[in-house]
Amino acid sequence: MMTQKTNVNCQTIQELKKSSECHLEHIFECGQCFRWNKYEDGYIGVAGGKVVYAYEKDDVICLEGAKEEDKNFWWEYFDLGRDYGEIKRELEKDEILKEAIKYGYGIRILKQEPFETLISFIISANNRIPMIKRAVENISIRFGDRIEFRGMEFYAFPTVEQLARATVGDLEDCGTGFRAPYIAEAVRKIIDEKIDLEEIKKLDTDEAMKKLMEFKGVGPKVADCVLLFSMQKFDAFPVDVWVKKIMQKFYLAPDVSLNKIRQFGKNKFGDLAGFAQQYLFYYARENKV
């Protein structure tokens, strides 16, 4: 029922691909999202309660299953209003970034849902990507809405109200381990204190960060990820093990602390710190720096 091809985004993405600014593999494998999986010639993913099959054909990228009324949603989701060529030209002034951008040329920062991003990155603490993906998937299956696509079942990430029905035990069963109580407390905090993540989004980066770190299980790294991947705070600079490695190798001493690395990145790359982080992360992990 939802297998009609969309042409709403194809035309735009076609141009983007020609200028090397949109490559699905780089977008989905650079550590920012957990709900896109390889399928046939592309990826199938769930976002905003919608499923699409995204693939590249010749010099066109199609979103099969996207509805006309969701045109604007996908436009925003893939950040299509932004000129990544300009961003790259600025960052390429740095020799290390120039090299990193060669690898991750088609990266775009997805505009994801704040609640889903918050919970997903709480799960990411001291965890590996396949395990995080499994836990997020299990949570969606148990508490989210079912969506059919191409004769397969998919599940939207649950709303706050839906996830409020989960006990700590339920969340442990989903594979979240010691993070289960953090998730339950975050959901409870949002409901009890009537927290609107969209309001936090309106604050400046530092203020928003403080608010996010009031959630248990949210430290500097997780907060930076939520700011960057769901609140368009592009001056955030999440430092995970890979970014730590590459920064210590190419920019700083091998024993510099996480907080120093974070400050250095924010100062060096400014409003483009988040984009720089994505290129550096992808380069470091692909090349096992």
> Which helix (H) or strand (E) is 51 found in, with range?
strand 50-57
Torsion region of 17: left, alpha or beta (phi above 0 gives left; psi -120 to 50 gives alpha)? alpha
Q: Is 278 in the site for DNA (CB under 7 A)?
A: no
Q: Going residue by residue from 226 to 255, which x/- string records binding to DNA, judged by CB under 7 A?
A: --------------xxx-------------
Rounded to whole angstroms, how far apart are CA atoms 277 and 135? Answer: 25
Minimum CB distance to DNA, residue 101 (Å) = 22
The smaller minimum CB distance to DNA, of residues 194 and 288, is found at: 288
Minimum CB distance to DNA, residue 125 (Å) = 4
Q: Is 48 in the site for DNA (CB under 7 A)?
A: no
Q: Is 222 in the site for DNA (CB under 7 A)?
A: yes
Q: Is 128 in the site for DNA (CB under 7 A)?
A: yes
- Judged by CB under 7 A, the residue of 88, 108, 111, 221 near DNA is 221
Within 10 Å of residue 3's Cβ, how many Cβ atoms?
10
Q: Is 245 a catalytic residue?
A: no
Within 10 Å of residue 272's Cβ, how many Cβ atoms?
19
> Which helix (H) or strand (E) is 60 found in, with range?
strand 60-64
The DSSP output letter for 37 is E
36 is written with which tokens? Answer: 């896109």
One-letter amino acid of 37: N
111 is written with which tokens? Answer: 């505009």
Q: Which listed residue (50, 221, 244, 266) is catalytic? A: 221
Which stretches of the chain bind DNA, using CB under 7 A?
A: 124-128, 130-131, 172, 175, 177-178, 213, 215-223, 240-242, 257, 259
Active site residues: 221
